[in-house]
Amino acid sequence: MTSWLTRKLQNLTTGSGEPSSGYSEVINDLQREFNVSSEKLREIADGLKCEMRKGLEQTGQTVAMVPSYVTGRPDGKEQGRYLALDLGGTNLRVCEVHLSGDGKVSMKQQKYTISQELQTGPVRDLFDYMATCIDKYVTEHSSMETRELPATKLGFTFSFPVLQTALDRGTLIHWTKGFNCSGVEGKDIVELLRDALSRKNVPVEVLALVNDTVGTLISQGYKDPNTLLGVILGTGTNGAYFEKISNIKKLTNTSLNPDDTMVINMEWGAFDNERRVLPVTMFDNKLDRKSVNPRKQTFEKLVSGMYLGEISRNVILHLIDRNILFDGYSSADLNKMWSFETGYMSIIENDKSADLTETQHILENTLSLPKTSLEERRIVKKIVELVGTRAARLAAAAFVGVTEHCNSVEKGCSIGIDGSLYHHYPGFRERVRAAMRELLGEKAENIKLTEASDGSGIGAAIIACLANKA
Ligand code: BGC
């Protein structure tokens, strides 16, 4: 059977190996769908600013703007050894952080996998597992070789939306990123961990509950005092920034100094769940319906690493069903949800070979598709570029929204960014930069983007140390 594309190409190909006009017709349609114009970016940045103001006024808003109860900034004199437990993506990390009191930090860590069953089973099993991992770490990996006692005070990085009522208290708003454990409704997250630790007889004290963005902001702020915003662009996405307490109208705790600052965990992943401004396509809707949290985390589902591969898969399947790709045939592997990993997108974007051999390897060997043509591989590469570019541009709109909200564009600031998407996706940061320039012109140069690796664990330890002294 000859596909629509093959027929078109037979008619149109120039023989030069250059994309034919059949190719451009398909691409043009997709380009229109995934394009985020400068005007749209402006609308999105302004929309986010508006939602930020709403979230600061009242609880229960779409962009939750959660007060973290982390006030002020560390000054580098913090000292001691602290544990950090980091739950939020595909791995659980137990970290041991050494703060030496002169602004220097060192860290050891151990990663543990969290099975699919634990991610979606009873919450007690998940917390018991975490307590066991802490116990294992403390007995096997802690600094015993230095004859020091194991660190026993812990900051808990819990990277999900939590309605915090104190530094060590808060309830889950809802799960995100593929987690969907039962039995967590109305329960205090820190209490759940403390109970699990005591069930397992692990003598560790939980001092603080910290979102990963808050940890990233604090650890980056430790290195660069000009840091305004901490961002995660990984499995999920979110940002945390310093807000003046007097602007957090919904805070009723009058003992706080209104002129101090508090870190706000924005939870921007939920931005535009109402779908007023974001350019949601049918490919995104397909993903959303099948996700564990339909109609939630709309912004996150267009931007973060967990979802980009799946959106691309939906586009590829659509073109297969229209008989435009692979003679209308998919493979059992490609038909599986999540089979087109975001990591493949990085490889495909990096594939500069004339024949797109890396792309061919992924399609034919990893995903078992029958023989692919160069034109088909070019289309797949283009799909990936469109999905990846849209994500970067939307992230840029959020960066601009927050910096404008804080009046920091003129005076300048730094944004500390952690997460696999930002670290490893080729061209992501350049695309972010380009979109920021479209929005801010030359003033975009006042905003420094910095890599903030491993910030969430270190930040949680610094916050635990501050809490220990309070
Ligand atoms: C969560 C945030 C978290 C972000 C990055 C989102 O799904 O809601 O709390 O900061 O992922 O890990």
Give me the residue label for tokens 């018991």.
128
Give me the residue label for tokens 């999920």.
236
Nearest to 238 by CA among 66, 114, 98: 66
Backbone angles phi, psi at 171, to 5 degrees: -115, 150
Q: Is the CB of 178 under 6 A from ligand 1?
A: no
Nearest C-alpha to atom 8 of ligand 1 is from which residue?
160
Sorted by sequence, the CB contacts under 8 Å of residue 246 that are 6+ apart come out as 258, 259
Q: 3-state DSSP call for residue 262? A: strand
CA atoms lying within 13 Å on the CB side of residue 296? 17
Cα 306 to middle of ligand 1, angstroms = 11
Q: Is the CB of 155 under 6 A from ligand 1?
A: no
> Chunked in runs of 10, what are the mean pLDDT values of the chain (470 residues)?
46 42 78 97 98 97 97 86 90 93 90 94 97 93 63 93 95 94 94 97 96 96 92 97 96 87 97 98 98 96 98 97 94 98 98 98 97 96 98 98 98 96 97 98 98 91 89
Q: Tell me what percent of the chain is helix, strand and coil, each rounded to the nearest 5.
A: 50, 20, 35
Work out the burial of residue 222: count CB atoms within 10 Å of its CB; fewer than 13 is exposed, 13-18 middle, 19 or more buried.
buried
Size of the chain, expressed as the number of residues it contains:
470
What local confidence, expressed as pLDDT, does residue 143 receive? 62
Q: 3-state DSSP call for residue 296? A: coil
Tokens describing residue 372: 């692919």
Cα 161 to middle of ligand 1, angstroms = 7
Catalytic residues: 177, 212
Sorted by sequence, the CB contacts under 8 Å of residue 184 that are 6+ apart come out as 123, 172, 175, 192
**Residue 146 DSSP code:** G
Cα 434 to middle of ligand 1, angstroms = 25
What local confidence, expressed as pLDDT, does residue 288 receive? 98
Q: Is the CB of 359 under 6 A from ligand 1?
A: no
Nearest C-alpha to atom 2 of ligand 1 is from which residue?
160
What local confidence, expressed as pLDDT, does residue 148 receive? 67
Crossing angle of the two packed helices 38-57 and 374-405, in degrees rounded to 10: 40
What type of residue sits at position 284? D
pTM of the predicted model over 0.85? yes
What local confidence, expressed as pLDDT, does residue 11 receive? 42
Nearest to 91 by CA among 122, 68, 114: 114
For residues 297, 299, 301, 306, the Cα torsion angle rounded to the nearest 10 degrees is -100
What local confidence, expressed as pLDDT, does residue 4 receive? 44
Give me the residue label for tokens 């949290």.
293
**Pocket residue to mutate for ligand 1, from 241, 263, 300, most atoms within 8 A of Cβ:** 300
Q: 3-state DSSP call for residue 255? A: coil
Contact 314, 334 (CB under 8 A): no
What local confidence, expressed as pLDDT, does residue 23 receive? 65
Cα 283 to middle of ligand 1, angstroms = 22
* Cα–Cα distance, 453 to 420 (Å, whole number): 10
* Cα–Cα distance, 76 to 220 (Å, whole number): 11
Q: Is the CB of 86 under 6 A from ligand 1?
A: no
Nearest C-alpha to atom 3 of ligand 1 is from which residue?
159
What local confidence, expressed as pLDDT, does residue 21 receive? 56
What local confidence, expressed as pLDDT, does residue 253 receive? 74
Q: Is the CB of 88 under 6 A from ligand 1?
A: yes
> Which CA distances in Å does 327 have to 21, 100, 283, 321?
18, 62, 21, 9
